[in-house]
Amino acid sequence: MKEQPPILLEVTRNHQVEMYHCASIAMANANGELLFHLGDPEAKPFTRSSMKPFQALPFVEEWKDEITLEEIAIAAASHSGEIFHRRAVAKILDRFNGSMNLLQCGIHPPLDKEVRRDLEREGKTPDVLHHNCSGKHAAMLATAFKKKETLEGYYELHHPVQQRILSRIARFCDEKMNEIETGMDGCSVVTFGPTLRGMATAFARLAENTTRFGKELSRIRDAMLTLPEYIAGTHERIDTDLMKAAKGLIAKAGAAGYYTVGWHDQATNTGVGVAFKVWSGDQSARDAIVVILLEALGLLPENWGSKSGWGARTLKNWAGRTVGVIRPSHIYKQALSQLNSPVRYEL
C-alpha cells in the first residue's frame, strides 16, 4: 500500500473510543475515471465473494439464453442455504447431469438461522448445497462441461475455467492478467486481487444501465436487481437489504472486510462503482462503512442505517441499556461532506 489507510469507523463506550477500523476506498465511473478515494486506490486486497458477479460471467457467456435469471443470480450469490437457493443450485447441476459430489466448496452450516434450526429439529446435517458458494461452483462446473473441458480441478488457477474468469476480470478492471493477485478462497476456488480502483471500475460497468459492456454482463446485473433474495437471503443479509432499499443499487459483500457497490448515475448516464477494504476484516465495520457512504450520497432513505441496524447506530447491552455508538470518524465525515463527484441518483 502506498498510503496508510485512514480510520473510518469508531466504536465508543461511555463516550470513549474503544475500537476503530481503518479502511481504503476507491470510487470510479464506468469510463475508468477515479472519482474519489481514501487510502491507496492501487491497493490489491483479495476481493473474496465480491468478485462473484464476474466469476459468473463465463457461465452466462456459454449457456446464453438456456439459463434463467434465478440460475444467474445463484451463480453470483453468497446465499443463505434456503430452499429456493438450493433448488437453483440443483437446477444448474441438472443441466449437465452433475452430482453435488462434484462441488469442491466443502460444507458449512447454512447462513440462515431458520434453516439451521430446521436441520437441527429434523436431526439432519447440512450438505454441500447449503454452502454459500455452491452456486458459483455449480456454474463453474457447468461452464467446463459446456466447453468440453475436464471437470477435475475446475477450482484451480491453471484450469481453463479460472483462466477464462481471470481474463474477464482483467478486461473489466482495466488491468493486466499477470498483475492481478491470486490466492485460494475459503471455498477452495481462486480468489482474485485487482486494485480497488479497478474493482470500482468493474462494478461501475456492471451497474451501468446500458449494454455497452456486453449483454452477458447486463443479464448478471438484471438478475441481481430482480432477485436480491437470491444474492444473499431473506433474513438479516445486508446485500439483499441494500438492494431492496435502493432501487437500482448493486451490492456484493466479500469476506474479510471487502465490499462493492455500483449504481447508474442519472446525471452523467454512466455507472459508478465503489470498492473498499476494512483492513481489520471486521464484518460489522464493513457493513456500517458502506451504509454511511450510501447515506451520505443520498442513495438510501433517510436514517435507513440506524433503523435497519446496518449503519451508524446506538449500541445496547444485553439488558437493553445504551453503552456506546458506532459512528463514522471525523476523517470519514469530512471526506464525505466534501465529495463533489457525479454520483447523483434517483430512487
pLDDT score at 346: 38
The pLDDT tens digits of the residues spanning 179-199 come to 999 999 999 999 999 999 999
Please, are residues 39 and 21 in contact by the beta-carbon 8 Å criterion? no
When pLDDT is averaged across residues 35-52 and rounded to a whole number, the result is 96
The pLDDT tens digits of the residues spanning 208-234 come to 999 999 999 999 999 999 999 999 999
Residue 1 has pLDDT above 90, yes or no: no
Length reported for the chain: 347
The pLDDT tens digits of the residues spanning 102-126 come to 999 999 999 999 999 999 999 999 9
Question: Where do the structural domains in the chain lie, given as residue ranges?
Answer: 1-43+195-347, 47-194
Please, are residues 76 and 224 in contact by the beta-carbon 8 Å criterion? yes
pLDDT score at 61: 97
Q: What's the predicted TM-score (pTM) here?
A: 0.94
Buried b (16+ CB within 10 A) or exposed e, 97-111: ebebebbbbeeeebb
Backbone region of residue 223 per phi and psi (left: phi > 0; alpha: psi in -120 to 50; beta: other values): alpha
DSSP assignment of 65-98, as one string? GGS-HHHHHHHT------HHHHHHHHHHHHTTT-
Residue 21 has pLDDT above 70, yes or no: yes
| Residue of 206, 192, 220 whose CA lies nearest to 274 | 206
